[in-house]
Structure 1
Amino acid sequence: MRGLTGLLIAAGLGLAGALCNWMYLESLATSEVRLGFIGVKPDVRLNVGDIFKADHFEPVEIPRSRVGNLQDAAPLWSAREAVIGLRANKPYAGGEIVLRQDLATPTQQDLASMLAEDEIARWVPIDPRAVIPEQINPGDLVSFETPQPIAVPASPMGETPSPAAREVIGPFRVLAVGARRERPNIQQARGRSSGPENTITIAVRMPDGKMEQRAVKLFDAVRAAGSQGVYVLLHSAKES
């Protein structure tokens, strides 16, 4: 009888110890600093090429002690502004954490895969004195302000000639700015050097194998101006 009592006491003490240990771990997990990562909401479905929007994401918080190497592989929730506006390079079924490798800069072949069957890529020279390229990103919509090719009569001696008329042509979808196919802050975070950004790569539609009329007007105007850089007008992201 005395032995049975001892076993019951030992079992009770073990159970109490396990309970205390569980309560300690729970309190530690609750009080421990957590890191937030960028998670795609469970009800969000994204295809390749879809633009990331703020309401696609929710924070996924993990205790620091359990993060492991995830911090090296995934951007933190605090860096989500650098992800918003990028295009998905893989499909998302919802519930995933966004990884840095999924935000990699597309290769040249990937640029071609971003075009529809009736689209081509064309390069437009821009005026670096009147444009801030860092404020333009792939996926944006832009129009171009070009000199209008009209005949201007010679001005009488001593009179100031009238400024050339200008025309706004667009919008076009931006594929790249210079060689950059990502936002400047992401480029810097990846340690990539920034090259000249005096051209913009745009997507041009080719319905029935013929270039769309606005693109014909744009490149005619660029040629008429001696391929000098043109002005750029940036459209609202709500139009994308």
Structure 2
Amino acid sequence: RFLYRFTGIEIGLCLFCVAAIAAGLAAANERAAITNFVIMLAPILMAVLLVQILDSQSKIKLLLICIAALGMVSAYESANQLFVTNQAMIDEYEKAPQTLLEPLGITAGTSDHFQFEHRLYSKDVKGFFTTGNSAGSFAIFAAFAGIALFLEKFRNRKSDASGSRALVTCGIAVAVIIFGLAITKSKGVIIASLIAAAMFIIYLLFGNWAKNLQKNYIDSLLTIGFSWVAI
């Protein structure tokens, strides 16, 4: 029997939907408003759906493996762009510019032409995404999925017969994903990854202490509340 699992974002999601509908009705371009609303709503609904689906450790592990694998594929494509594709495209463009401009419907001397050349000569490493920032952001996501798998294998390395081999595999996957993140050369992504890594390390070192502190804090508030009611 299906049992809905509350995520904690339902109230915020309802308020967001109400605000989006009101804004859409007042928008000059309703089609664009609906498109933007759907684009913003889709990942939120996906998060709610994942909470309902991921009801076991095996399903969670399978999702982490898929994310880490996609991160490795994206890193490979980014490396291919860095070492081969970007320069090859520049060489082809300099030999015959129209062979690249005509299929895209770009006219020489226009602003679209200027933007095309800017993107081309910037040698942006973006994997399968539209920008390097997007590729780097996904790399952070995939890296932490790989780290979660690595830590799980590290903790169970003695009880699992294939623990050492799986541990090395997870370590290589994390290294490849981090390499893919680094070659995007996105300053924002690199800074964000360092902050995320620092927060993760702090959680590993002081997570239990923070949980105990939170529990003691809540117990103290409850004690004060009951005492106030009794008085």
TM-score by length of 2: 0.21
- Structure with the larger strand share: 1
- Structure with the larger helix share: 2
The structure with the larger Rg is 1
